[in-house]
Amino acid sequence: MRVFVTGASGFIGQAVVKELMGAGHQVTGLARSDNAAQKLIKLGAKAHAGSLHEPDTLSAGAAAADGVIHLAFIHGPGDIPLGRRLGLILGGSPLNMVGRFGAAITAADRRAIDALAGALTGSGRPLVTVFGTMGMAEGHTATEDEEPDPRSPGWMRSQTEAAVKAWAERGVRATMVRLAPSVHGDDDHGLIPKFIAAARKHKSSGYIGDGENRWSAVHRLDAAVLLRLALEEGQPGARFHGVADEGVPFHQIAKVIGRRLNLPAVSITPREAARRLSWLAPFAAYDNPASSQQTQEQLGWHPSHPGLLADLDREVYFRA
């Protein structure tokens, strides 16, 4: 299959490119810079110049492919062009600044999915996108057949899931992979490294309250296999869970970080967590176990790489 991958130059994307090529697919990745294009060419993929802010470049990439995996996401102001960013800072809508950026990011993701899916309409060619298990209700083991919960810290991103559902209802073979909040492995620059940085800065590794709230996790190489299987076999509207560890108590994560940094692991209050972690605090407090049983049964996906605690307990996570 000729596969178009957005976010192909990223942490998960590069693993997906290697996984797809290893399975005999040809890959073209979206590249918004020469640097990203060089990464793709080094991996043996082709680069397609474009950006999430230029939907025509996405349609063109999808139209030339037999299938699409959409991983690119605007993770912060740095991914937004300067002029637009200034507009969001200066205002012009009743939302506060965080709300304005959130709305702009979800709107851009919606436009990107519409451009990609629109190019695939009526062709039976697949589109795989990602969401997070952090968009599910807390306090129980989330399953693939549940809907996102408006009270969850990942709710903002549920627009992605709604877009996929809408396109699947229009006959596009669009599927959704809900990834665990920690997709871990070498070169991880997701949420876990932010906890490590906060522990260094505050001279202790914090968990909130008793730290019994659980996080699911998946190794990025296992996530890459799942994304390939979803592309090859997913049916319209299918939802899969990229989860290997169902629920690791957060205090265990904090304790590995503390031991590795030679710092105490300490219980902190939600107020102290907000001071240390800012927007990340609600995620660190969230009890978010999730199952991938249905995914494993449907796709024959069996994660085989190390779990979060073993993977985290390595020098590579703690280089200064």
Q: Which residues bind ligand NAP (CB under 6 A)?
A: 7, 9-13, 30, 32-33, 36, 51-53, 71-75, 79, 130, 132, 179, 181-183, 190
Are the C-beta atoms of 135 and 121 separated by less than 8 Å?
no
Q: State which residue, 181 or 247, has the beta carbon closest to ligand NAP.
A: 181
CB of 107 to ligand NAP, least distance (A): 13
Q: State which residue, 210 or 279, has the beta carbon closest to ligand NAP.
A: 279
How far is residue 92's CA from residue 231's CA, in Å, rounded to a whole number?
40
Pairing of strands 245-249, 214-219: antiparallel
CB of 94 to ligand NAP, least distance (A): 26
Are the C-beta atoms of 308 and 217 separated by less than 8 Å?
yes
Q: State which residue, 198 or 204, has the beta carbon closest to ligand NAP.
A: 198
Nearest-CB residue for ligand NAP: 10
CB of 307 to ligand NAP, least distance (A): 14
Q: State which residue, 85 or 200, has the beta carbon closest to ligand NAP.
A: 85
How far is residue 108's CA from residue 74's CA, in Å, rounded to a whole number?
8
CB of 295 to ligand NAP, least distance (A): 15
94 is written with which tokens? 């009743």
Q: State which residue, 15 or 273, has the beta carbon closest to ligand NAP.
A: 15
H or E element, residue 61? helix 55-63
CB of 292 to ligand NAP, least distance (A): 14
H or E element, residue 4? strand 2-6
Are the C-beta atoms of 216 and 179 separated by less than 8 Å?
no
